[in-house]
Amino acid sequence: MPPKAKPSKQTKRKTPAAKPKAPAPSPPAKTLAYDEDGVDTLFEAMSIVAVRCDEEGERFWIAQLLDDTIEDMLEDESAQVNVVYFDKVVSDKSTLYRLGSYDAIPVQAIMCEIHLDEPSPGDFKLPKRHLDRIESILANVDAGEDVPDEMLQPLKKRKTSTSSEATTKRGNGAKSPSRTSAVKLDKLSGLVKKKVQVPTSIHLQDESMAGKHPFRSKCADVVSSSKEIIRMVLVKDYKMLENLLKKPSMHKHVYSFFVTRSAGIPKTAVHYAIERADLKALTLLLAAAKPDQTPPKFAKKPVCALVSLDTGNHTSSFSDYNRRALNASRGGKEGNNALLKDEGGTLPPLTLDGVDSAVETFLWGNPTTTYEMIMLFYPGDTWVQSSSRVIPLVARCGNCTLLCKLVGILVARNGRGYNALHAQVLADMGPLDPFKKVSVLKKANMHSIRPLHFAAINPNPAHLATLVGEVDQSALAEADAGNWTALHYAATSSETGPLKVLLKAGADANLRTKAKDTPLTIAARLGRLEHVKVLLEHSDIVCVRVLHLAAQHGHDQVVQVLLAHGANPNASTSM
């Protein structure tokens, strides 16, 4: 049912200069339990809405909901919902919106759902049709008139109600005339001839990955059924994914929501959602992963008939006597244990202690991770407490956009060892503020990352060129706690500009990190094809590990370039 047409409540937003804060909790004075069963969702989480405000010069704000909003909340004056505001950026050419601070607003202050266009990454624009809709609602409220239901309804419900009305009207009308045509038979077979409708464009695809077949139609066991959730994320079948996660009748077919794909690819559906920056799938999966909720009634995992073998306990008195013979007698170094690598097979992303360590490392070290994804795992910016551990992971995968956001938050909150220059060199706007030469090599806490290192990650090499001009050539070899130099960080950048600036200034392309990585090794692991081509011209030795890492991470074009450069495909490595 559509929400009631009544004047919406006004809200007062915090000043734009306020620092971004976590979503504020609802007032504890009055707690209402909104049941999940039998309620109608008014606005879904991540929907963009217009909110009435009482600030001077502004009549409405634009915000993105972080929680679902149901219709019962409209009757509760104290009901609030967490949102993230969009800050208005006014220029001579147009008015844009960018993600701003977090807050909690009254549900009654929400006017309607809208859409925003994204002309460029991070910049959003309000379409004219939605602006007209907001102004119409405000005009009706100011005049004391009722607001039409179609203006207040969420976009999805408006479309549904419109189509249902059209169907009803058509059903009440006269019957459509039936039209029959003569049946044509094939002269040879005697069968009825039928015309096959061929689409204009045919895309051949693997049927198992097409996302069209129903759940379990191709599965004969619980293990295979449990891995269907990975396919749902890969093909973006959100409807089937939501049904599997939320319907108890579906839980009896799987033994976990977070089954790894295989022993060789230990990724769950959460990993693939992170890798593809699929915020919708990730929201559904994390909602089902909360450890404090009642666990679903899953199917029982099949019992493995193989027994794990070991060599028994031994002490120094036995040394290694006859242990090799014992291993060989059971079929090699591992024996049956080689078939038990996927016996664990599950990796829940959330535990009672927080985010699982393996999932956490994958999240922060993924180049496509966004700040919105971070907020799903760490609501209220709880990641700040472990910033000394996660910032290097973000920097060393070349995720400049996320790194700029995180460092900006840290600088606003006492710095944690990062200065203003750390944040400015990551931004892609205007010249740098005046700085002292010593600030170029200012070490941050714990990992000793310098502004020169951060500037090498920025795809725009302008800031890096400015810093390089302030220091001598020896400063280019300054490393952080992991022995990463500016050239190592430049190998992670999405563009080759920073790499060329440093090489031209005399940076050494053969220096190694504590993990024995050269800039070429890092570029090959991340699949930076153009970076590999540039570094091959400046590297003395192409080690075998470079080829192995490129092949391990599936970067076929990088492998081809390395082979053409003389890399040995038959060589082995112990690492």
Identity of the amino acid at 461: P
Give me the pLDDT at residue 54, please.
74
Flag residues of the chain having pLDDT under 50.
1-7, 16-23, 25-37, 157-181, 188-189, 198, 200-206, 208, 217-219, 325-331
Pairing of strands 60-65, 48-52: antiparallel
**Phi, psi of 134, rounded to the nearest 5 degrees:** -65, -45
Q: Which two tokens stand for residue 105?
A: 């607003």
Give me the pLDDT at residue 159, please.
44
Q: Return left, alpha or beta for 444; rule: phi > 0 is left, psi -120 to 50 is alpha, else beta.
A: beta
Percent of the chain with pLDDT over 90: 36
Instruction: Please answer whether residues 86 and 99 qualify as being in contact, where contact means their C-beta atoms are separated by less than 8 angstroms.
Output: yes
> With the C-alpha atoms ordered 482, 486, 492, 493, is the resulting torsion angle positive or negative?
positive
Give me the pLDDT at residue 111, please.
87
Q: What is the rounded end-to-end Cα distance, in angstroms, of the chain?
A: 62
Angle value at C-alpha 501, between 498 and 505, nearest 5 degrees: 140
> What homologous superfamily is domain 354-564 in, according to CATH?
Ankyrin repeat-containing domain (1.25.40.20)
* Matching residue, tokens 């094809």: 529
Give me the pLDDT at residue 212, please.
53
The rounded distance, in Å, linking the Cα atoms of 487 and 500 is 9
Q: Where are the domains of the chain?
A: 41-161, 209-302+320-353, 354-564
- Neighbouring residues of 8: CB distance < 8 A, sequence distance ≥ 6: 52, 108, 109, 110, 111, 137, 141
3-state DSSP percent of the chain in helix, strand and coil, to 5: 40, 10, 50
Q: What are the DSSP calls for 306-342, one per residue?
A: ----------TTTTTTTHHHHHHHTTTTTGGGGG-TT
The rounded distance, in Å, linking the Cα atoms of 491 and 498 is 8
- Neighbouring residues of 517: CB distance < 8 A, sequence distance ≥ 6: 488, 525
The rounded distance, in Å, linking the Cα atoms of 375 and 373 is 5
Give me the pLDDT at residue 569, please.
87
Which CATH fold would you assign to the domain 41-161?
SH3 type barrels. (2.30.30)
**Phi, psi of 3, rounded to the nearest 5 degrees:** -65, 155
pTM: 0.59
